[in-house]
Amino acid sequence: QTVVTQEPAFSVSPGGTVTLTCGLRSGSVSSSDYPTWFQQSPGQAPRTLIYNTNIRSSGVTDRFSGSILGNKAALTITGAQADDESNYYCGLYVGRGLWVFGGGTKVTVL
């Protein structure tokens, strides 16, 4: 069973930078896992920020960027703003059409 790991929570100051990671309990994440990042604000449907490791979805600000850092996928938020306060989920493709999500990271801007 594939388990995707994310930090439970992160705090960032307004204007600051934070990097969230997405790992595998067993193994390394690579671009072949098609890492995808989603943002979800309370009461809202998720929206896709980054797909295929580092491609921003249409309309997503370049303050969000994706990468592979070591053996994990990473989402970096630069110039943090109040409305970046959300839950962030990563998803990894595990083959044969299947995807697995991480548990999500709650980001607080204060």
Partner 1 sequence: QVQLVESGGGVVQPGRSLRLSCTASGFNFVNYDMHWVRQAPGKGLEWVAVIWYDGSDKFYADSVKGRFTISRDNSKNTLYLQMSSLRVEDTAVYYCVRGGYTSVRLGGAWGQGTLVTVSS
Is residue 93 close enough to count as binding partner 1 by CB under 8 A?
A: yes
Binding-residue total with partner 1 (CB under 8 A): 25
The correct pick among 5, 19, 30, 51 for binding partner 1 (CB under 8 A) is 51
Q: What is the 3-state secondary structure (H, E, C) of 29-41?
A: CCHHHCCEEEEEC
Judged by beta carbon, residue 16 or residue 103, the one nearer partner 1 is 103
Residue 38 within binding range of partner 1, rule CB under 8 A: yes
Q: Encoding tokens for residue 64?
A: 């969000």
98 by DSSP, 3-state: which? Answer: strand
104 contacts partner 1 (rule: CB under 8 A): yes
The footprint of partner 1 (CB under 8 A) covers: 1, 34, 36, 38, 40, 45-48, 51-52, 57, 87, 89, 91, 93, 96-104
